[in-house]
Amino acid sequence: MSIEVKNISYTYMAKTPFERKALENVTLTIEKGEFVAIIGHTGSGKSTLAEHLNGLLVPSTGEVCVDGVNLKGKGNDVRLAKHKVGIVFQYPEHQIFAETIYEDIAFGPRNSGKAEKEVEIQVRNAMQFVGLDYDLFAQRSPFQLSGGQMRRVAIAGVIAMEPDYLIMDEPSAGLDPVSRDAIFTQLMAVFKKRDIAVILITHSMEEAAQYADRLLVMSKGQIAIDGKTSEVFKEQRGTLQEVGLDVPESIKLTDLLCAKGLKIEGQALTKEQLVEYIKKAKGWS
């Protein structure tokens, strides 16, 4: 039960003067139950990689398999395999089209041929996950919502398809901190409740550190680092800085405090953890 990416490369607008190599020899495997963050600068190929994972883009060379099915084909098994991978695009609220929120969220489940009764259940569940009250919102127009609410509708539209692999492309871009936290809390709830893999694409190291168990660092279309989050911060700091990233602020602050003589044990991946460690070191708790 995994997505296997074998040695893929992809070039946009091949054979024109605008040719641009976006991915080069990328190989990786993502198992169900993993929470992976793909992190890298703008233009490093994160979104391009994501679009390969459910067959929206076909690699120039190499292959992508979902649960053992090569996405290159056209058969029914390929269609089903693609439906297992849900992808929430950057600014997903721009894809909303239906008259009511219900209709928009139901679009995906209906396309995978579910009966109307089942569709309703899935819409209800999805709305609950993203924290939109069914009775209050289901029949309202999605275009009267705030930006954050619209994004939740769009995310619900993907969650309603009950994917086994959920890809989120910069879900927090352009949101206020409260909406952002809400979305991540709900994402964690989906992740914990159902046995799925979450692939979070972000360029914020803080977000990656807080939520992901595994880090995939991309640079210039290649995978620069692939490892457990805590180990990457411990052992690969140099490589991170080489590709223009760094460890999260909380770890930087830990180092500064240690240099000043405070004895902090362990790795503070979030600012909350750091506060705990400081309290412990000072003997305040």
Ligand X SMILES: Nc1ncnc2c1ncn2[C@@H]1O[C@H](COP(=O)(O)OP(=O)(O)O)[C@@H](O)[C@H]1O
List residues near other proteins by CB under 8 A. Answer: 13, 17, 51, 54, 56, 83, 85-87, 89, 92, 94-98, 107-108, 111-112, 143, 157-158, 161
Nearer to other proteins (CB atom), residue 29 or residue 95 = 95
Nearest of 235, 234, 254, 233 to residue 245 by alpha carbon: 233
Nearer to other proteins (CB atom), residue 27 or residue 143 = 143
The reply to whether 244 sits near ligand X by the rule CB under 6 A is no
Distances (CA, A) of 156 to 78, 161, 162: 24, 9, 10
Which of 11, 12, 60, 125 forms a contact with ligand X (CB under 6 A)? 12
The reply to whether 47 sits near Mg ion by the rule CB under 5 A is yes
Distances (CA, A) of 7 to 25, 28, 42, 156: 5, 8, 22, 32
Nearest of 105, 199, 200 to residue 161 by alpha carbon: 105
CB burial string 122-145: b at 16+ within 10 A, e below = bbbbbbebbebebeebbebebeeb
Which of 36, 37, 48, 160 forms a contact with ligand X (CB under 6 A)? 48
Q: Of these partners, other proteins, Mg ion, ligand X, none, which one is at the site of residue 20 (CB under 5 to 8 Å by kind)?
A: ligand X
Q: What's the rounded Cα separation, in Å, for the pair 45 and 23?
A: 6
Nearer to Mg ion (CB atom), residue 202 or residue 254 = 202
Binding positions for ligand X, 117-156, rule CB under 6 A: none
Q: Of these partners, ligand X, other proteins, Mg ion, none, which one is at the site of residue 97 (CB under 5 to 8 Å by kind)?
A: other proteins
Stretch that binds Mg ion, among 43-51, 153-161, 244-252, 269-277 (CB under 5 A): 43-51
Nearer to ligand X (CB atom), residue 13 or residue 178 = 13
Nearer to other proteins (CB atom), residue 70 or residue 112 = 112
Secondary structure string (H, E, C) spanning 71-101: CCCCCHHHHHHHHCEEEECCCHHHHCCCCCH
- Tokens standing for 114? 């579910």
The reply to whether 172 sits near Mg ion by the rule CB under 5 A is no
Residue that the structure tokens 């909350």 belong to:
272
158, 87 in Cβ contact below 8 A?
Answer: yes
Stretch that binds ligand X, among 12-20, 54-62, 95-103, 109-117 (CB under 6 A): 12-20
Q: Of these partners, Mg ion, ligand X, other proteins, none, which one is at the site of residue 86 (CB under 5 to 8 Å by kind)?
A: other proteins
- Tokens standing for 258? 């240690």
List residues binding Mg ion (CB under 5 A): 47
List residues binding ligand X (CB under 6 A): 12-13, 20, 22, 40, 42-48
